[in-house]
């Protein structure tokens, strides 16, 4: 094992800096999507929320607490890398021109998204197994009527599978420019939050479009929360399509969610 060279001050600075960046991404998109939902909900003839349940203070407190724990766990990745002394083994590069140019720059972002989505899909399906669900994923599904805060509201055990493992693998396996990695992180946070916003934002007919049918949507993920079945993907529905785990009634639900005005789907009694 490499000899640790970082001081306690270095570890603290890394924790504060990267924890702050994670909190910033989370806060920006929670605020953005909350504002979008509020604005759209106030427009005449716009789509209502996907579920009819009223959010409770108990849910807000739980989601804020678990989200805080998730941010702390994510912030510990950088100090751990420093403490282990393996930072130089991460394949970052500075000169875009000598590493495949802009074509590879864009491809590296797509590759990171694909790796993240693949790991998420299979870990997500595994956590829905009866033997694992209670200890890993149940905390997230307590939010049967999701909202932007729900996105980071997972148990610490799930955070290890959902945050530490995929991001560490990407950090050490994928050659990338720092800017490409930063873009990937912001896309990750944006999708995590909009998937839980509780209102459909994509255009009508997208679920049947040749490309759109592979994109995850608030409707798809909302129904996953309501039923705890189907639609396990994160960014995409590629693996769900290949593995036959897309909700068989997804197209009808999407049509209803994008009607003007749309009927509320799958009402859930507030906890």
> pLDDT tens, 206-258?
999 999 999 999 999 999 998 888 999 999 999 999 999 999 999 999 998 88
Distances, alpha carbon 49 to alpha carbons 17, 28, 37, 144, 249, in Å:
36, 21, 8, 13, 18
At 262 the pLDDT is: 44
At 52 the pLDDT is: 66
Question: pTM, whole model, 2 decimals?
Answer: 0.89
- How high does pLDDT run on average in the chain? 89
At 198 the pLDDT is: 85
Q: Length of the chain in residues, anyone?
A: 271
> pLDDT tens, 46-95?
676 787 667 788 888 999 999 999 999 999 999 999 999 998 899 999 99
The answer on pLDDT for 152 being more than 70 is yes
């Amino acid at each position: 094992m490499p000899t640790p060279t970082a001081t306690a001050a270095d570890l603290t600075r890394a924790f504060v800096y990267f924890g702050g960046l994670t909190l910033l991404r989370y806060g920006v998109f929670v605020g953005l999507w909350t504002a979008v939902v509020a604005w759209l909900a106030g427009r005449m003839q716009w789509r209502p929320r996907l579920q009819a349940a009223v959010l409770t203070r108990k849910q807000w407190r739980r989601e804020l607490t678990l989200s805080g724990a998730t941010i702390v766990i994510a912030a510990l990745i950088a100090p751990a890398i420093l403490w282990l002394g393996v930072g130089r083994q991460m394949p970052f590069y500075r000169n875009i021109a000598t590493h495949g140019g802009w074509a590879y720059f864009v491809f590296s972002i797509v590759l990171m998204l694909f790796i993240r989505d693949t790991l998420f899909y299979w870990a997500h399906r595994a956590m829905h197994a009866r033997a694992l669900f209670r200890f890993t994923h149940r905390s997230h599904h307590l939010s049967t009527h999701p909202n932007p805060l729900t996105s980071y509201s997972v148990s610490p055990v799930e955070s290890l599978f959902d945050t530490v493992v995929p991001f560490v693998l990407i950090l050490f396996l994928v050659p990338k420019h720092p800017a490409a990695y930063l873009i990937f992180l912001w896309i990750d946070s944006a999708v995590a939050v909009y998937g839980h916003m509780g209102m459909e934002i994509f255009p009508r007919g997208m679920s049947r479009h040749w490309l759109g049918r592979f994109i995850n949507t608030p409707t798809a993920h909302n129904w996953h929360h309501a039923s705890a079945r189907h639609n396990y993907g994160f960014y995409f529905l590629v693996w769900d399509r290949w593995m036959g785990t897309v909700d068989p009634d997804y197209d009808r639900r999407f049509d209803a969610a994008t009607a003007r005005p749309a009927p509320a789907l799958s009402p859930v009694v507030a906890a």
